[in-house]
A and B are shown apart, each in its own frame.
Chain A
Amino acid sequence: MSFTSNPNLNKSKRFWQAFAFNSFRLLSFLVVAILVVILGFIIINGISVISWEFLTEMPREGMTKGGIFPAIVGTLWLVVGSLLFACPIGILSGIYINEYAKDGWLKRFIKLMTNNLAGVPSIVFGLFGMALFVNKFGFGDSILAGSLTLGLLALPVVIRTTEEALKAIDDSFRIGSLALGASKWQTIWKVILPIALPNIITGIILSVGRVSGETAPILFTVAAYFLPKLPTSIFDQVMALPYHLYVISTSGTNIEASRAMAYGTAFILILIVLLVNLLANWLRRYFGRKVKMN
């Protein structure tokens, strides 16, 4: 018996092993590199316009000067609004699908539909939101209509992550709680949800990332081309970062002059997503700890 009974075979095996390993490594470096280049490009071009003035002032002189304050505020409103809508409904749906719905065609159908919903292009959500919220419900172009539309977009993500987070929890927790005379809802509320929370939060944050960067859904439902004042109610229009970026890079009064503003806006948009992700990580760890200690 020998460890090298067929040296040729071993050679080819080793070659392919090394080849696969190295090419995968190369590919993943490539992905990272692309990301670094994109980020670097935006940061280098954008950081020069970032100033207190840029963050806190209204746009001026055909959006070539001043700041993007109303767009920042608008995006925050929309993110919060869409979450207020998507989280309760999404989490409750996820709970229903995983904890209550019996295996069968109804459950399969609901899951199929949520998956399909996740694949619908966002412009379609925009059209739907316009038809339903803006026109049919008569909300007009407003934070309310925009938030509901973005909320619909976030919904499948929230449902899916809730469902996955619940599915990952060992049944012995449920059984242990029920065996103590707890009702199903008490079991979910007091034992299961706290365990699932860190993962649900992650899902919600992921959807925040998506919602804050979407342009198409807000195009016909809330976004204002130029509106240098802050909203006073949920029936007002607002400016929003992604749409503002689109406007000043494609259809502003002086596109060349607003180029720097565009990079600055992109920078802030990325920064917001980044901060939100950091917050998510922190919350995850915080809740993760709390679940054990509590």
Chain B
Amino acid sequence: MTNSQGKPIPVPTLETAPYWEGCRQHQLRIQRCNDCGQYQFFPRLYCSKCFGERVDWVNATGRASVVSFTVVRRPVSPAYANEVPYVVALVRLEEGPQMMTNIIGCAPEEVKIGMIVEVVFDDWTETISIPKFRPAETVP
């Protein structure tokens, strides 16, 4: 387990608990609307496109492409000091939603916009695993 001391460990809410339960099982879960088919993330009570209420949790493929990224040289807090330089990125999941993440498993200078990445989980506590992304092993 990763040392997460001093880091902002997520506290699941009524709305986000299924997401974090998925992460605990190393599954990236997002929502899909049964009425219009939209996929969405962050989690929401209703579909943000048609505002319908028939929204279900589904497993994402976990593949994504890098939309933008930065290499953080000055840590946000002392808890991140051992990790600089680290990559903070926005990635677009195959299903469409965008999320913030860290790109790991390669040197920061190897990260490029458009690069295909896949989800990997960083276990912070017994119940909280953080989804991060690494360069995809196979190109589809």
A binds B: no
